Amino acid sequence: MARSRREETVPHWLLHAVLIVVTLIAVYPILWVLTIAFSGKQSLALVDLPAVPTAADRLRAVVPWPDHPNATNFVSVMKDQPFARWLVNGAIVALATTVLGIFLACTAGYAFSRFRFPGRRAGLMSFLVSQMFPGVLTLIPLYIILVKWLGLGSTRTGLVLVYTTTAIPFCVWMLKGYFDTIPKDLEEAALIDGASAPTIFLRIVLPLAKPAIAVTALFCFLTGWNEFILAATLMDKENMYTAPVGLRFFVGGFSQQWGYFAAGAIIVSIPVVALFFYLQKYLVSGLTAGGVKG
């Protein structure tokens, strides 16, 4: 390709230099947490420095590689600490949120997409506006409703109900959009063949919407799995903590069990990171589609 004189491109080695520096910054905290997890110690420092450290000692103290790599932190966080229980709590809550969220979002999304009824527009708009409610405002009444009125404080049921309603608006809008793209002819044909309305919904529409349902499911799961503040507020009892609250328990306040935290953080993050990479193209398009559309 012929280049004009004025069009000087930046040399590639410079671009690589910038990219390497930024990548190091991006990866360093992750390497840091891995190092602590595999160090077998609870300490926050990567190495124990002598009283009068030399420059080489100090350099060693920031290199993210453990002195004696071992997995004792992983073993003891699962066996000696109640972390396994917190993981199970978190998983139950996240899975129940997923199941309930899909059920509610599919039915509501289908109705919003297929039927024209009084209140449709108001319903859709109210779902959208509800995304603007500050969490703290609803947190106080939710605390009163769930803990004082319904007696669901420190229960998984309470948390599942709250998470589901948190996730519903996004899921409904997303599924509605997808249902809109499924041609109505199919359903009309089935109707002529004598299929009932529930059959059409279950046998024809839902199978066609599988990709969107998968994304909805993952979104619901991540909502339940990653949520921190509601769980920290509603779950008072230590044995009912979810994984995020448990991780904070290791290093919050006066507790300094960084080894347990690091090992736990890695266990919690692996499914999330895996899902994330699988999902990211949907996430990006889902988040910005509303704005880009003319």
Partner 1 sequence: MRKTRPQGFRFFVGLAVASALAIGLAYALLAGERRQTESARDQRLAVVRLRALTEAVEISTAPGETGLQPLLIEWKARLKDSPPARVIVTQGIRLEASTFPQDVGEKAAPRRLAREEKPLFDQAARLRAAVETNRSEGAQRVEEIEVARTPSGGLGLAAPIEKEGAVVGMVQMETVSVAHAAHPNRAVALLYFAAPVALFVLLSGVAGERKWLLALLAAVLLVGALARYTQHSRTVLESDQRGLVTAVAGEIRVQAAALPGILAAVSAPPGIHPETWDSDLFRRPRGIVSADGSVSEESLRGVIDSSAVPVEKAIAGVGILALAVLSFLGFGGAAHLWATLRKHREAYVYITPAMLGMIVLVFFPFLYGVAISFTDQTIYTTSKPLTEIWTGLTNYAQILGDFHMARRAADGALVFNYLNFYWTFFFTVVWTVSNVTIGVSVGLLLALILNTPGLALRPVYRVLLILPWAVPNYITALIWKGMFHQQFGVINQMIQIFGGQPVSWFEKPFSSFVTALATNGWLSFPFMMVISLGALQSIPAEIYEAARVEGATRWQQFKAITLPSLKPALIPAIIISVVWTFNMFNIIFLVTEGEPASSTEILITQAYKFAFQKYRYGYAAAYSVVIFLILLVYGTVQNRATRATEAI
From CA 98, how far away is CA 218, in angstroms rounded? 8
Each residue 63-92 as x (binds partner 1 by CB under 8 A) or -, in order, gives: ------------------------------
CA dist list (Å): 214 to 15, 97, 265, 274, 290:
38, 14, 25, 15, 20
Each residue 225-254 as x (binds partner 1 by CB under 8 A) or -, in order, gives: -x-xx---x----------x--xx--x---
CB 208 within 8 A of CB 81: no
- Asked if residue 115 binds partner 1 (CB under 8 A), the reply is yes
Task: Please list, in sequence order, all residues whose beta carbon lies within 8 angstroms of the beta carbon of residue 46, skipping any fewer than 6 positions away.
Answer: 32, 35, 36, 39, 60, 61, 62, 63, 64, 66
- Asked if residue 183 binds partner 1 (CB under 8 A), the reply is no
What residues from 273 to 292 belong to the interface with partner 1 (CB under 8 A)? 273, 276-277, 280, 284, 287-288, 290-292
From CA 272, how far away is CA 236, in angstroms rounded? 25
- Asked if residue 220 binds partner 1 (CB under 8 A), the reply is no
Structure tokens at 207: 């199978």
Return the number of other C-beta atoms located less than 10 Å from residue 71's C-beta: 11
Q: How far is the CB of 117 from partner 1 (least distance, A)?
A: 4
Q: How far is the CB of 29 from partner 1 (least distance, A)?
A: 5
Nearer to partner 1 among residue 171 and residue 240 (C-beta): 171
Q: How far is the CB of 239 from partner 1 (least distance, A)?
A: 20
- Asked if residue 93 binds partner 1 (CB under 8 A), the reply is no
Nearer to partner 1 among residue 36 and residue 96 (C-beta): 36
Vertex 135: Cα angle to 131 and 139 (nearest 5): 130
Binder to partner 1 among 258, 259, 260, 286 (CB under 8 A)? 258
What residues from 11 to 50 belong to the interface with partner 1 (CB under 8 A)? 12, 15-16, 18-19, 22-23, 25-27, 29-30, 32-33, 36, 43-46
Closest CA to 224 of 106, 104, 101, 132: 101
